[in-house]
Amino acid sequence: MDPATERALVLRCRAGDDDAFRELVDEYKNLVFALIARTVQDRGRAEDLAQEVFLRVHRGLPYFRGEARLSTWIYRIVANVCVQDQSRGRTHVSLDDERTSVRPSAADPQFRDLELRDRLEKAIARLPPNYRLLVAAHYLEGIQYEELAAALQLPLGTLKTQLHRAKQQLRRLLETDLR
Amino acid sequence: MFCDEALEVVESIAAGDLIADGRIAGHLETCADCAAALESARRVERLLRQRAAPSAPAHFTAATLGRVRRARWQSDQWLDAGFNLAVAAIVVAIVAAVWMVLNRSGLAAVSGDAVHLFGSGLATFADRVAPAVPLYAGAAALLATALGIWWWAEGKA
């Protein structure tokens, strides 16, 4: 969405136009949902948190000054909602959790790949919340480095360093399984 | 020592942010551990790039707008309750102030007669209105039912 259209949409939302807010939700719902679903794993919880994001957007629109892009502001809300949710109660996820692990036939490469993905998701769940969000956002199409840095209020260099560390931690968590 | 340096950049090489220069490339060719780490980093990078990006469910927009409406309605309810409480407090304060002024100025004794007059007027009015009470009660019940249905529908929306 170009900045002019974005500004017009925000103005219409602020004037109490419900159709404009519907447009805003439709525009950002997939990115917001994907970002949260990649961070919290549980789809039901992700839906609840994504709705919470739009509730906060609706409440905050009268105070949105338009200094940042609307998308940047929304990603910042996503980050706050995810971090708050994760600080409420974090369960330790083991990479060998019997209850949820995929138990493939070792010889089948497709199943082997499925197992790797399963282990990757569990390894991501063990990352600190800010790293988890970074990994979720960076590999999501449509989110730029600069926008992510602005949303998380981090200098671009720090963001890249944190992303690098997050991937390093992931590799170390998975290393024994991948070899 | 050089392994530490190489391991520090394997993620960047795997992501394509950095091209291994002669020294690092040479080390990666000779050090099995670092080469394995680079291979792991490449796999992690590939898996991360292939990670599914789930779409929001079909009912998401409707559910979100419903939740926003409910939240707005609840906040309006609080606002209404606050306003009603403020009005009630102001009325109580005015009545108390009037009563204190009447008491201090000695007008309370005179106002006793006014209260008596008002009371008898009220009784006459009640006598005249009494035959129509069932009609008024029915209308009030209908209004209350309509308000109840509206309140319930707003709560469900």
Q: Is residue A33 part of a domain?
A: yes
For residue A42, what is the domain's CATH number?
1.10.1740.10
The answer to whether B64 contacts A179, with C-beta atoms less than 8 Å apart, is no
The answer to whether A29 contacts B61, with C-beta atoms less than 8 Å apart, is yes
Q: Is residue A98 part of a domain?
A: no
**A59: containing domain:** 3-90+127-178
Q: Is residue A137 part of a domain?
A: yes
Asked if A167 contacts B41 with a C-beta cutoff of 8 angstroms, the reply is yes
Q: Is residue A162 part of a domain?
A: yes
pLDDT over 90, % of chain B: 37
Split at pLDDT 50, 70, 90, the class of A98 is very low
Among candidate residues A42, A129, A132, A27, the one with its CA nearest the CA of residue A83:
A129
Q: Is residue A95 part of a domain?
A: no
Kindly state whether A32 is in contact with chain B, defined as any CB-CB distance less than 8 angstroms: yes
Kindly state whether B13 is in contact with chain A, defined as any CB-CB distance less than 8 angstroms: no
**Token code pair at residue B104:** 């201090």
Position A78 scores a pLDDT of 92
- The ranges assigned to domains in chain B are 2-50, 60-105, 115-157
Split at pLDDT 50, 70, 90, the class of A110 is low
CA distance to partner chain B, nearest, from residue A30 (Å): 5
Mutate to test the interface with B, among A13, A24, A25 (most CBs of B within 10 A): A25
Q: Is residue A83 part of a domain?
A: yes
d(CA A18, CA A31): 21
Q: Is residue A104 part of a domain?
A: no
Q: Give the total number of structural domains in chain A.
A: 1
User: Is pLDDT at A104 greater than 50 in this prediction?
Assistant: no
d(CA B156, CA B70): 8
Q: Is residue A135 part of a domain?
A: yes
Residue B54 DSSP symbol: P
Q: CA nearest B41 in A: which residue?
A: A171
pTM for this one?
0.68
CA separation, residue A43 to residues A101, B1, B66 (Å): 17, 45, 19
- Condensed to tens digits (0 to 9), the pLDDT of residues B43-90 reads 889 988 888 888 899 999 999 999 999 998 888 888 889 999 999 999
- Number of inter-chain CB pairs under 8 A, A vs B: 99
- Condensed to tens digits (0 to 9), the pLDDT of residues B26-49 reads 888 899 999 999 998 998 899 888
